[in-house]
Every structure is written in structure tokens, then in C-alpha cells.
Structure 1
Amino acid sequence: MRIWGILLTAVLAANAASAEELTGTLQKIKETNRIAIGFQESSVPFSYLDGNQKPVGYALDICARIAEAVKTELRLPNLTIETVPVTSSNRIPLMTNGTIDLLCASTTNNAERQKLVAFANTHFLSATRFAAKKSLSIDTIEDLKGKTAVAIAGSTNIAQLNKVNVERKLGINIVPAKDQAEAFLMLETDRAQAYVLDDVQLAVAIARSKDPAAYAISKDEFSKPEPFGIMLRKDDAPFKAIADRVTAQLYQSPDIEAIYRKWFESPVPPIGINFNYPMPSALRAAFKKPSSSPDPDAYVLN
């Protein structure tokens, strides 16, 4: 009995020490029994609200895997998963101040953002292009000279548009929009002649529009295809290790094919639109070698 007592004491002490060793996000989740997942309300099909106002999407499905792993690792069977709406402008502040623990949307992972936050393994690759009405015959970036272009405030896209505008002296009137819905409405109502965004999201916006045949996506790119990642807090290695482990296992398994087809090649809620956007070869290659690199050159096919 004495030996069993000593062993029990040792086990309890080890568990106590393990709990005390938790830091950062994992410690916060353990103490509150809650994980906060940020999402964007109109970033279809990465994260958005369905017909029942429930957050759904490709990135949210990936984040659910991370949350489940945290739940298991911290032994929190009743872990509360809270979804928090964010915008392009406030998502980084809400991450750094602890309001959200994961951002599950279409967020570009770049070197500038990595000074403030971290990212899990890349879940998508996309280049910045523009959409315009076919009737305007705006096909190249040079065609935007002197015209009005809309992009989402705080996004990588508006930063790239500003950079090209200055470098090429195009005199584009750049208008920031609060979200994708507002931006496309400006294009639709001719308040802007071009809408600058990631190419996959332009394809989604056009597919969902009243007249998809009226729009075209530019061949010109403002950037090389850039990585999207699940955003995490910076300098939180234990939490990032879980997110990287879970996403690497997912991306190297057949499950990622099913998740991708569900959101990009099948009818999606709320009205059953199919975006018919097959997985790009560069993304398929990236899944074979998961990485959280912000460098577009790291994902170039050899």
C-alpha cells in the first residue's frame, strides 16, 4: 500500500507539473476551457455564414481538426469552441490581444505579417488579380490607368495594388471596402471599374453574382501565388507545434482531398453554387511537403 501511495503521489505531482508547464495559448485555453476561433463572414468558401447564420467553410473545417487535437491533448472533453467574427482590418489586433486563438479564413501569410503573428502550414495558394465587366475590355493592369479600383481595407491585395500603382504611375483611384460583399457591389454598380482580390475569391464572387457571364478575371497578376494559412499568435511554439502537426497530417492524407472537393468542387450552402475550382497543381505539391513559409518562391513548382 505504501508503494502504491508513493506511485500515486508521483503521478499527481507529474500531472501538476505538466499543467504548470503550459504557457501561452494552451494555458489560456486550459484555464478558460474555451478556444476562440476567428472567422470572416463573407470569405466564401473559406469562412462565411450559411443560411442559418452558422459559420462554415474550408478553413473552418481545418480549424475544427486543430481544436479537436487541443481538446484531446489538454484533456478537456467539454471544451467550448467559440466563433468570433472578424474583419480584415481588426483580425491581427484581435489575435495579438487574445480575443481569438485561431483565425480561420483566407489570410495571406507574408513576411510582414510574420513580424506580428504566426501561421500554421499553408492551406491554399492564390495570386492577386482583378475582376472587371467584360463590356469595359479591361484586360491588363495597364488598362487600369486613371480608373477606379476597389480592394478590401487592410488586405494584402490593397497593399499590392497600391505598390503597383505607385511603381507604374498609373493614377488609379483606389477605394477601400470593408468586406468582399461591399467591394463586389461597387463593381456591380459601376462605382469601381475593377475589383482587386485573390483569384480564387474573385471566381467565387463571380459565380455567386446575378450575371456571372458579365465578368472576367484578368490574366495579369499583381503577385506570384501566395500562401494562405491559419493565423496564430507569435512566439507561441507549443500551440503552433500542435497546429502544424495536425495540418501536416491532414494535408498528407486523403482527407484533404475530400475537404477541398466539398468546398470548391461541390454545391455549397446556402444556395448550392458549385465554384468548379479544381485543386491547383502547386497546392497539391505544397500539401505533400507542408510548410508555413511566407515566401511565394517556396511553393514554385520545379
Structure 2
Amino acid sequence: MKQNIVALSVAIFAAGAAHAQSNDTLAKIKAVGSITQGVREASGALAYALGNGVYAGFHYEVCTNIISDIKKQMGLSQLEAKYVPVTSANRIPLVKNGTVDIECGSTSNTLARQKEVAFASTLYVEEVRMAVKADSGIKSLADLNGKTVVTTTGTTALQVVRQNKRAKNIDFREISGKDHSDSFLLLETGRADAFVLDSQVLAGSIAMARNPKSFKIVGEPLSVEPIAIMIRKDDAAFKKAVDDSIARQVKDGTIAKLYDKWFMKAIPPSNTSLNLPASAATKAAWEHLNDRPTESYKVE
């Protein structure tokens, strides 16, 4: 009987510890000796795959630095970084269920998403626009009447398109790509007339196309959205560790250097530059670090 009570006590303690770690990422990291980073395979210069398990991009490098800072903060001699490829459709569930500790891709910070996850301080403020074939004659949303528009499943761009569709009273067909590469392929092969998404993702897709000069980004900004690193909700200690690292990287000039590296200089694998200077909104985010959602931004 005594042995059963001891066994039951151990089981209850273990269950309690597991529950505590589910809400305490730093405790989980210390216990398992690793941190799991959600990575994107085709999210423009923010995050993408080079093949053979190698990842790159602005947010990917920011997260590499965050992990290094957390390792120092916790006094760990080693901290293994594990990588889990995520998509627009599964990234939030994988963060919520603990599969991924920190997602470093191209996720828009919105009020709806803040009910499910938390976001680190914003380092990139995006404009949603559209990519078209250079000879398409499409210059704005008004030219999309009767056309086919593609967006990526799980992104907020589709909502933006629908809102503008109602406002301008134009009629177009909507299709979805399973990821950004698939969406661009639909444009490239003529199955879609326009690809609507974050401008840096569009620029990255064009830069890696077989013939980049065959495409261009056109039209007015459809929305302005803060893109941020995503973590679990209600984990104040981990959020502070992430935000502290971001603040350090901004203060010592690391962020400005990384932005220049990924958005202004030639990047692999095509060695083509996106040539996207930091916008006024992005620079303002660096100067006044915050985790405000999309709804607090306005299209100029």
C-alpha cells in the first residue's frame, strides 16, 4: 500500500512538473537541454530553406542570436537548437501545443492571433501588395476584375483582398497555394494573374524565379502589418528573455546590420538583392520596441 502511495505521489509530481514546463519555456529548455525553433521554407528574406536542413534569413538569424543570449542567461554550457519546418496553416497550433518553442518566420501580429499566442517585439513592418507578370497590364486592384488572385493558405492576405474586393466592387476568382512557393508557381505558370502577400515575400519569390525580370510588384499597399517572432501565450519569463535579446540586438546595431544583409545585399541561393530599404514604420518599430497588433497600424 505504501509503495502504491509513493508511486502515485511520483506520478502526480511528474504530471505537475510537465504542466509547469508547458507554461514555462525556460524550465522546459533547461530540462531537455534544447530549444525547438519553427522555421519557414519559403518566407522571403525573413526566413527560408537553402536545402539539406540549412535555413537562412533575417528572422532566422535574429532567433539564432536570441537562442545564444538565452543560453548565456541560463548559464548553460550547451543548448541544442532543433528545427521544425512550419507552414502558414500549422505554425500557430505547433506553438500552442509545445512542439515549437519559438517561431521565426513571417507571422503577422493580429488581435485574433494574440488570443492564441504571444509575439515578441516587432522588427519588421510589412506592406501587403501584389506581384504580377511584368507584361500583364495589371497596375492596381482595380485591374483585377475577372482575374484570378492567389494567396497562401493560412495567411491574413486573403482577408485583405476580400476587404478591398468589397470596397472597390470588383469581381475576381480566389485560389490558395499550400505555401508561398506554391502560390508563386501558380502565378509563374499562368494559373493566377496576381499573387497577393507581404512585399518582401513577393520580392524574395521574384528574386529566386528563373527569370526575375518577368515579374514586378505593383499597386497601392493593401495593408500595413507588423511581422513578429511568435511564442507561447502566458509565458512572461520567456517573452522577457526574447524581448531583452531583441532590445540588445537593436541597441548594439545588430538588427540594422542584419537588415542590410538580407534586404539590401545579394542573398543566396540566387545571389540577387531584394533592394528593399527599411520603411519608416520598420525604423520606428526599432526605435520604440513594442508588440502592437496590425489593427493599431493604418495604411497611409
Name segments (4+ residues, structure 1) moved above 3 Å.
20-23, 166-169, 295-301
| Matched-pair identity in % | 37
User: Residue deviations 1:108-131, cap 9 Å, x none?
Assistant: 111111111110010101111111
In structure 2, the residue matched to 1:148 is: 148
1:39-96 superposed Cα distances (whole Å, 9 cap, x missing partner): 1111121111125440111101111122112212222222111011000000000000
Letter in 1 for 2:287: K
Scaled by the length of structure 2, the TM-score of the pair is: 0.87
Check 1:168–1:281 CA distance in 2 against 1; reply closer, same or farther (3 A cut). closer
Alpha-carbon RMSD: 2.1
State the partner residue of 2:103: 103
- 1:159 paired with 2:159, answer yes
Alignment partners' CA distance in 1, 2:178 and 2:215: 22
2:219 is paired with a residue whose SS is coil
Q: Confirm or deny that 1:24 pairs with 2:24.
A: yes
Aligned to 2:278: 279
Within 2, Cα distance between the matches of 1:72 and 1:214?
47
- 1:211-250: CA deviations, max 9, x gaps? 2222221222221x21010001011111101111111221
Classify the secondary structure of the residue corresponding to 2:135. helix
1:227 is matched with 226
The aligned length equals 281
Matched position secondary structure for 2:205: helix
User: Match for residue 289 of structure 1?
Assistant: 288
CA separation of 1:164/1:27 partners in 2, compared to 1, >3 Å: closer, same or farther?
Answer: same
Whole-Å Cα distance in 1 between the matches of residues 140 and 114 of structure 2? 31
Report the counterpart of residue 181 of structure 2 in structure 1: 181
Q: Which stretch has the larger CA shift, 30-39 or 62-71? A: 62-71
2:22–2:98 contact (8 Å) kept in structure 1 = no
Q: Conserved in 2, the CA contact under 8 Å of 1:119 and 1:292?
A: yes
Distance in 2 (CA, whole Å) between partners of 1:279 and 1:29 is: 34
Secondary structure in 2 aligned to 1:36? Answer: strand
Q: CA deviation at 1:100?
A: 0.2
- Once residues 169 and 215 of structure 2 are traced to their aligned partners in structure 1, the CA distance between those partners, rounded to angstroms, is 26
Question: For residues 124-167 of structure 1, what are the alpha-carbon distances to aligned partners after superposition, in whole Å with 9 as ceiling and x for unaligned?
Answer: 01111111123221111121122110000000112222333345
Q: Indicate the residue corresponding to 2:242 in structure 1.
A: 243
Indicate the residue corresponding to 2:3 in structure 1: none
Map of 1:75 onto structure 2: 75
- In 1, the alpha carbon distance for the partners of 2:126 and 2:45 equals 14
Q: What secondary structure, in the 3-state scheme, does the structure 2 residue paired with 1:37 have?
A: strand
Structure 1: give runs of 5+ residues left out of the alignment.
1-19
Three-state SS of the structure 1 residue aligned to 2:275 is: coil
Distance 2:217 2:121 in 1: 28
